[in-house]
């Protein structure tokens, strides 16, 4: 055997056993390195998601079940709804502190905040940027409240204590005029946007330019933060954000066409680019004569089949609600598909965020149904997402 080894060593042109040993070590090290790198690479991409995914799945397990919705629908008054939510730890802390709808929005904002904090670095930016949604909502609420002459306390009930401006909310609410609000926002991203749109608002008395310019800023920049997919996770996030932007654009165009508005009326409020619906296509859609023209113009995109199906409803009722519902369902389907396809990455986070949005929407539908319209449980149930 020793002779065989010696023959092998000599055959390999090696001068001694030590040289052979060194060769064995090097070969093993190379094989080991290749095995380790090829095995570890996919695992490392999952690693940053293990902690956030466990947290998200824990919260997913606490989302409302059908049984809970049924119990809630049996409530006779909003006070009963409140008591029910008081029994759920996630809602309890807000229910006692704020009015019902503000409590629900605060819970949703807290969820966004959590996702932004725990998301891995390469997918963090879009979620952090999404927190601006609450700033924008708060600015809109404060301006509307100011114009409607609401008291500070009433205005406070409309704002959600989350977002970059959460520390500034009291100052903004204390402002005496829209101009003072604008002054208080100096140094933030929102000041230049409002500087352009507030004069239009003052001139026309219509708040739409202010709201639309803020929404446009949010969506355009949101798409930009997710615009350079580096891996599967960022690509899926881009797809989800892209669908959100496209659907917001489509809804706005459909609403405008249903109201008989022309290209020039809506062009300033549109997000300039989209995901499937790029700039040139948006212009085409905006130039459509009517709602059916918009639906036909979307031929070839993912949105066409669901909108074509809803066209009959629109023709019968004249309401674009069917389109909006179909588009919202499409976003949910995209989120759930991503959640299933990308189980060890960003997928479950997107899926959960969408389900949480739907839960809050449903709770608001139930509350409004009970409070304003005194609708029966079965009617409200049909309205749920």
Give the list of residues 6+ apart from residue 101 with CB closer than 8 angstroms, or none. Answer: 364, 367
Considering only residues 103 through 132, tell me which ones interact with other proteins, judged by CB under 8 A. 118
Closest to other proteins by CB, 47 vs 263, is 47
Question: Is residue 294 at the binding interface for other proteins, with CB under 8 A as the rule?
Answer: no
Six-digit token pair at 202?
A: 């003052």
17 binds other proteins (CB under 8 A): yes
Of residues 356, 307, 321, the one with CA closest to residue 336: 356
CB atoms within 10 A of CB 353: 21
Residue showing tokens 């799945």: 57
Tokens standing for residue 209: 């330019």
CA-to-CA distance for 379 and 385, rounded, in angstroms?
Answer: 13
CB of 121 to other proteins, least distance (A): 15
Q: Indicate whether 88 belongs to the interface with other proteins (CB under 8 A).
A: no
269 is a contact residue toward other proteins (CB under 8 A): no
18 touches other proteins by CB under 8 A = yes
What is the dihedral sign for C-alpha 170, 175, 178, 181?
negative
Nearest to 259 by CA among 291, 303, 216: 291
Please say whether the dihedral angle defined by the alpha carbons of residues 346, 328, 57 and 124, taken in this order, is positive or negative.
Answer: positive
Q: How far is the CB of 46 from other proteins (least distance, A)?
A: 6
Determine if 338 is a binding residue for other proteins (CB under 8 A).
no
Applying CB under 8 A, the span of 18-26, 214-222, 249-257, 275-283 interacting with other proteins comes to 18-26
Query: In the complex with other proteins, which residue's Cβ is closer, 35 or 379?
Result: 35
CB nearer to other proteins: pick between 59 and 224: 59
Does residue 28 interact with other proteins by CB under 8 A? yes
Q: What is the largest CA-CA distance in the chain?
A: 101
| 7 forms part of the interface with other proteins (CB under 8 A) | no
**Under rule CB under 8 A, residue 52 binds other proteins:** yes
The pair of structure tokens assigned to 185 is 């926002």
Q: Do 249 and 271 touch, CB atoms closer than 8 A?
A: yes
For position 87 contacting other proteins by CB under 8 A, the verdict is no
Site membership for other proteins, residue 24 (CB under 8 A):
yes
Q: Is there binding between residue 57 and other proteins (CB under 8 A)?
A: yes
54 is an interface residue for other proteins by CB under 8 A: yes
Question: Does residue 50 belong to the site contacting other proteins (CB under 8 A)?
Answer: yes
The DSSP secondary-structure symbol of 119 reads S
Question: What does the binding site for other proteins look like in residue numbers (CB under 8 A)?
Answer: 1-2, 5, 17-18, 20-21, 24-25, 28, 32, 35-36, 39-40, 43, 46-47, 50-55, 57-61, 118, 343-344, 348
């Amino acid at each position: 055997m020793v002779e065989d080894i010696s023959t092998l060593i000599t055959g390999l042109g090696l001068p001694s056993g030590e040289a052979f040993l060194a060769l064995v070590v090097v070969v093993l090290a190379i094989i080991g390195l290749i095995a380790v790198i090829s095995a570890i690479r996919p695992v490392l991409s999952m690693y940053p998601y293990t902690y956030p995914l466990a947290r998200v799945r824990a919260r997913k397990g606490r989302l409302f079940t059908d049984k809970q919705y049924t119990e809630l629908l049996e409530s006779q008054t909003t006070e009963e709804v409140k008591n029910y939510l008081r029994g759920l730890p996630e809602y309890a802390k807000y229910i006692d502190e704020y009015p019902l709808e503000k409590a629900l929005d605060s819970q949703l904002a807290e969820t966004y905040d959590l996702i932004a904090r725990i998301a891995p670095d390469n997918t963090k930016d879009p979620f952090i940027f999404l927190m601006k949604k609450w700033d924008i909502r708060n600015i809109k609420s404060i301006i509307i409240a100011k114009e409607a002459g609401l008291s500070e306390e009433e205005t406070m009930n409309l704002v959600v204590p989350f977002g970059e401006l959460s520390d500034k909310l009291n100052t903004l609410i204390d402002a005496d005029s829209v101009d003072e609000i604008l002054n208080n926002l100096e140094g933030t991203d929102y000041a230049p946007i409002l500087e352009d749109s507030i004069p239009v608002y003052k001139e026309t008395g219509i708040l739409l330019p202010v709201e639309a310019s803020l929404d446009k800023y949010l969506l355009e920049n949101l798409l930009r933060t997710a615009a350079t997919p580096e891996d599967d996770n960022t690509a899926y996030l881009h797809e989800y954000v892209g669908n959100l932007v496209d659907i917001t654009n489509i809804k706005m165009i459909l609403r405008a066409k249903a109201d008989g508005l022309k290209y020039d009326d809506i062009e300033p409020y549109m997000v300039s680019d989209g995901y499937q619906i790029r700039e040139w296509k948006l212009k085409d859609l905006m130039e459509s004569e009517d709602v059916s023209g918009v639906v036909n113009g979307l031929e070839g995109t993912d949105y066409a089949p669901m909108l074509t199906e809803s066209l009959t409803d629109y023709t019968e009722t004249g309401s674009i609600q069917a389109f909006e519902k179909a588009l919202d369902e499409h976003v949910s389907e995209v989120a759930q598909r991503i959640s299933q396809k990308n189980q060890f990455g960003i997928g479950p986070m997107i899926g959960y965020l969408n389900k949480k949005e739907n839960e809050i929407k449903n709770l608001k539908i139930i509350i409004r149904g009970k409070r304003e319209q005194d609708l029966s449980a079965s009617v409200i149930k049909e309205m749920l997402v």
